[in-house]
Structure 1
C-alpha cells in the first residue's frame, strides 16, 4: 500500500511540475507576443510620423511657382 501512495504522490508531483512549466512557457510566449506587437505599433507610428513630416516640409506647388517668379 505504501508503494501505491508513494507512486501516487510522485505522479502528482510530476504533474504539478509539468503544469508549472507550461504556465511559465505560456507567460513567456505572451510577453514575447506583446513585445512584438508593441514594436510593430511603434514602427507604424514612426512611419506615419515621418510621412506626415515629409508632407508638411515638402513645398506646395503654388509656393514653388511663387519662388521661381521672385528669382
Structure 2
C-alpha cells in the first residue's frame, strides 16, 4: 500500500509541476501577444501620422514654403 501512496503522491506532484509550467507558458504567450499588439498599434499610428503630414505639406502653397 505504501508504494501506491508514493506513486499517487508522485503523480500529484508531477501534475502540479505540469500545470505550473502551463500557467507560466500561458502568461508568457499573453505578454508576447500584448507586446506584438502594442508594436502593431504604434506602427499604425506612425503610418497615419506620416500620411497626415504628407497631406498637410502637399496642401501648402509654394509661397508658404518659401517664407
TM-score range, shorter chain: 0.7 to 0.9
Question: Normalized against structure 2, the TM-score is what?
Answer: 0.86
- Match of 2:53? 53
Q: CA RMSD in A?
A: 1.3
After the TM superposition, which segments of 4 or more aligned residues of structure 1 sit over 6 Å from their partners? none
In the alignment, structure 2 segments of 5+ residues that lack a partner are none
**Paired residues, what number?**
63
**SS class of match (1:6):** helix
Question: Normalized against structure 1, the TM-score is what?
Answer: 0.81
Residues 15-63 of structure 1: CA deviation (Å, up to 9, x unaligned):
0000000001111111111100100000000000011011111245xx3
In 1, Cα distance between equivalents of 2:23 and 2:7: 24
In 2, Cα distance between equivalents of 1:59 and 1:37: 33
**SS class of match (1:17):** helix
